[in-house]
Structure 1
Amino acid sequence: MGRFAPLGRAAWWSPLRALLAVSWVFLGFAALAKANCALGRPDDSGVLRLNWDGNRQYTSFCYNDIVPLYGGRGLDRPGFVYDFSWVEGDLTRYMEYPVLAGIFQNIMGAIARNTYAVADRILPDVGWYFFLTALVMSVLWVATIRMVAELAGNRVWDTVLVAASPLVIMHAFTNWDIPSIFLAVSALLAARNRRFWLAGALIGLGTAFKLWPLFALGAYLTLAIRTRRFAPFARMAAAAAATWVVVNAPVYLRNPDAWGEFQRLNTERTWEWTTIYAVASRAFGWSGFDAAGATPTILNTVTLLLFAAGCVTTAAIGLAAPRQPRVAEIFFLTVGFFLLFNKVWSPQYSLWLVIPAVLALPRWRLLAAWMSVDALVWPILMWHMLGVDNKGLPGEFLNLVVIARDALIVAMMVLVVRQMLGRERDKVREAHAGCDPLLTRPEDWEVAAR
């Protein structure tokens, strides 16, 4: 609890209530950070229209995908989102998000359209949609904080690193990542409570929302191989696969082209602005592995092989470690390797890493430094995207902050590996009598302590 904890004397401010209050405050900051891109001004007929004049999405770095995709993906009109299409050149385009993410957007669009009358004098329709979406995702984030506090166990105050993260201010409402984080953490808690079928189903739902929750299975597989106890992992894997199929099959059968848009886009797109490949291109004029304008086949292969090598390395360390590694340590390394080697690192993806990092390596100063530097990537990227001719930042500034971010993540990964190998102090184990709080419950810690 800490040597200054007033045990039994707090009439109201328990650790959990304090954490939830901090969460709401930082979510408020996150909404304000994006608000400049959700406001409007009246047109000639007095109707409020979205106002992005003066490149405000870049100059105030309030850009988010929620606002432009409201009209761009047909969410502002009735109908099923995966039936909506548009033409770009000779290509018919569809909603490019995984099925559950698209359905979530569809539902929020329907709610916004049917309730807009209450806000039509203060917000444009897309602004109302944005703030409703932010509200729903805020509720999910607060529920996530509640679960993280449970998983943190005897180190409950580590959760403040999640609740008060600068990345929450910058990226809580940049995209639709919070629901996938909610589902991934729900799966970790269900597995902790030995409800493996439920944990697998939640991983399947998370994977149907964003790909990354699938990586949690890698941690449980490593531990299953190490302990030779495969039944819990088999239940989780089977439930995850079945749930993913059940969610995806109706959309695939209804419109296979729309269902496959996510895979098509990820196959054909090149690297994103803040990846190691983009840094190399800006720094050295490198044109990439593939011919200009061609499908990045070699780049896709390289990123896949590098990530696979990272996963194999993580598993090998987990199997060779002198003591059983913790779930959070393996999960953190897997997500870290994916972000470092993937050709797409939309800056909001860093939110995925926050909870695994806090549960794996609760070093407050290091984690706060990483999250602060990582949050700076967004405004610098936005100012770079303005263009040098428009008083934007040159690429060297973006390269510098991206390299600093990556270096801090690599440093954290090295420390986690050293922790797994017993060469660094593991504060989490010490606080739980040598147990992994993601695999054991409070009664297990009491038995181990005795």
Structure 2
Amino acid sequence: MKPPVHIRAASYLPLGLFAALGATLAYLVRLPCRTGGWNDQVTTYTNFCYTDIYPLYFDRQLSTENPYFAQVPFDKQVEYPVVLGEVMQGIAWLVRSAGDVATQGVRFYDITVVLLGICLVIGVLLMAAVAGPTRRWDALWYALAPSVILAAYINWDLVAGALSMGMLLAWARKRQVLAGVLLGLAIATKFYPLMFLGALFLLTLRTARWRPFLVTLVSALAAWLVVNVPFMIFAWDGWRRFYVFSQERGVDWGSPWLFFQNKGWPVLGTADVSLLGTASLAVLLLGIAVLTLGAPRRPRLAQICFLALAAFMMTNKVWSPQFVLWLVPFAVLARPNWKPLALWQVAEVWYFFAIWLYLLAQPPLDRADLGIGDDTYFTAVWGRVITIGIMMGFVVRDILRPDKDVVRQGGVDDQIGGVFDEARDRYTLLPASR
């Protein structure tokens, strides 16, 4: 007999409180900037409290313009997909009567942080529900991981995180239309959830459960079109800003490609980074496809989502500190083993501090006395790459040797697999896998 609904809900209350604690700690991290530090870059970087939220309110003219319909230079338009842009605009409307523009900026930050904190709590609770009753406490990593607290309010990534966790839960409960709608909205918020479609496709190919996948795919496309088409018709230049920016953007902070360029490596440091990044991502995704279809037992959905997302991040032209928010829940769902997760957290924390110290020593600040140089900074860049690579290696091992999978040792097949859970193989690369 199932426990009453109020008992089941009460069992998740402590996780919600821990998530609220994490959201509060994240606010305290940036408190020195909120009280005036944003007006001086040196103060911002030495207090490690940078955020995009406050400066973009002014730089993208949110106090007076809609980010997609604004008659402003192309480089001043909002460089985010439409759901995120309209979230920014909605909050900007709320603060326009707050007094002078500086007061509006601080109020814009405060309300945005409240929204992001709510998204973190929702994301943690959804992750706990996705993980299942026996592993719901794994969601503590998402609530209180040091990297999450440090990076939570740099940008608006937690909105996409809540939508992604909602998509996973809907898929696990076999509500494919809802899963597709949430996935489409997540892709229209941040682009990275597109990787999850590939994971669903590969497991569908192995199990031949085509109808649920196609329903989810069509629902995702419909949701994406509903929120995008009006802007494509009435604000084409503003809408396409994100896609043009993503294509034309050069190599940026955090990316391993920056190391190769800085050191002048042949080919890796001199060739077109867009081409190199796309090619390397394609190679990694091909490897993930072969692994998915050739493994002795069908991999879990969380494992494939994690591998695809990690591959996307490691080959990208930019790897901002807040991107850690994308990966934490999927890394934990894929392999909830504390040792490699803790090692990765150390690397992420080091990178968080290293990037601001490095920027202090770069033009236009040129404060080498306060910052760090190239070689020290790149230890942080490669620390993230190596520790995520280690976690990917363990996940691959778990897929090839399912008896090593901590989740499956608990007697489950795939707690978030939905129609894939306990499904028979219909197509594999190796006959022995069937």
Could you state the TM-score of these two structures normalised by the residue count of structure 2? 0.89
Contact 2:302 2:333 in 1 (8 A): yes
Deviation at 1:280, TM superposition (A): 2.0
Matched, 1:265 2:245: yes
Structure 1 equivalent of residue 227 of structure 2: 247
Q: Report the Cα distance in structure 2 between the residues aligned to 1:200 and 1:13, rounded to whole angstroms.
A: 25
Count of residues in Structure 1 that have an aligned counterpart in Structure 2: 409
- In the alignment, which residue of structure 1 is the partner of 2:171? 191
How much does 1:124 deviate? 2.9
Query: Which of 249, 253, 273 matches 1:299?
Result: 273
Which residue number corresponds to residue 409 of structure 2? 430
CA distance in 1, matches of 2:32, 2:222: 42
Contact 1:39 1:124 (C-alpha < 8 Å) held by counterparts: no
Cα contact 2:67–2:238 (8 A) shared by 1: no
How high is the sequence identity, in percent, across the aligned residues? 32
Q: Is the 8 A contact 1:387 1:394 kept in 2?
A: yes
3-state SS of the aligned residue for 1:86?
Answer: coil
Q: Tell me the residue number matched to 2:417.
A: 439
Query: Partner of 1:62: helix, strand, or coil?
Result: coil
- 1:147: Cα distance to partner? 0.8
- Deviation, 1:214, is 1.5
Question: Which runs of structure 2 are paired with 1:153-232 in the superposition (5 Å)?
Answer: 153=132, 154-232=134-212
Q: Distance in 1 between matches of 2:199 and 2:398?
A: 16
**CA RMSD for the aligned pairs?**
2.4
Structure 2 CA distance, aligned partners of 1:249 and 1:104? Answer: 17
Selected match of 1:16 from 4, 12, 17 = 12
* Residues 1:100 and 2:83 aligned together: yes
| 8 Å Cα contact 2:321-2:351 kept in structure 1 | yes
Match of 2:119 among 126, 140, 149: 140
The farther-off stretch of 369-378 and 217-226 is 369-378
Deviates more, 1:385-394 or 1:197-206: 385-394
CA contact (8 A) 1:85 1:93 kept: no
Distance across 1 between alignment mates of 2:71 and 2:267? 31
**Structure 2 residue corresponding to 1:317, chosen from 288, 291, 295:** 291
Look up the match of 1:419: 398
Q: Distance in 2 between matches of 1:249 and 1:288?
A: 40
Letter in 2 for 1:104: V
Rounded Cα–Cα distance in structure 1 between residues aligned with 2:71 and 2:373: 36
Residue 221 of structure 1, CA deviation: 0.7
C-alpha change, 1:290 and 1:439, in structure 2 (3 Å) is closer
2:412 match: secondary structure: coil
Tell me the CA shift for residue 15 of structure 1.
Answer: 5.1
CA distance in 2, matches of 1:85, 1:25: 41
- Measure how far apart 1:357 and its partner are: 0.4
Change in 2 beyond 3 A, CA 1:265/1:54 = closer
Unaligned residue ranges in structure 1 (runs of 5+): 1-10, 41-49, 445-450
Alignment match, 1:387 = 361
Q: Is 1:109 the equivalent of 2:92?
A: yes
Q: Which residue of 2 aligns with 1:7?
A: none
Q: How does 1:273-284 map onto structure 2 within 5 Å?
A: 273-282=253-262, 284=263
Q: 2-side partners of 1:51 and 1:163: how far apart? A: 26
Q: Which residue of 1 aligns with 2:4?
A: none
Does the Cα contact within 8 Å between 1:15 and 1:157 map onto a contact in 2?
no
What is the aligned partner in structure 2 of residue 39 from structure 1? 35
Shift of 1:198: 0.9
Any conservation in 2 of the 1:37–1:67 contact (CA below 8 Å)?
Answer: no
Q: Conserved in 1, the CA contact under 8 Å of 2:257 and 2:268?
A: no
- What SS class does the counterpart of residue 83 from structure 1 fall into? coil
Structure 1 contact 63–174 (Cα < 8 Å) conserved: yes
Give how far 1:259 is off: 1.0
Greater shift, 17-26 or 182-191, is seen at 17-26
Q: Distance in 1 between matches of 2:412 and 2:75?
A: 56
Checking the alignment, whether the CA contact within 8 Å between 1:80 and 1:106 is kept in structure 2 is: yes
* CA distance in 2: counterparts of 1:361 and 1:275, whole angstroms: 25
Q: Out of 370, 383, 394, which is 1:404 matched to?
A: 383
Q: Distance in 2 between matches of 1:287 and 1:101?
A: 38
**Corresponding residue for residue 233 of structure 1:** 213
Change (3 A) 1:216 1:309: same
1:175 and 1:288 map into 2 onto residues whose CA distance is 33
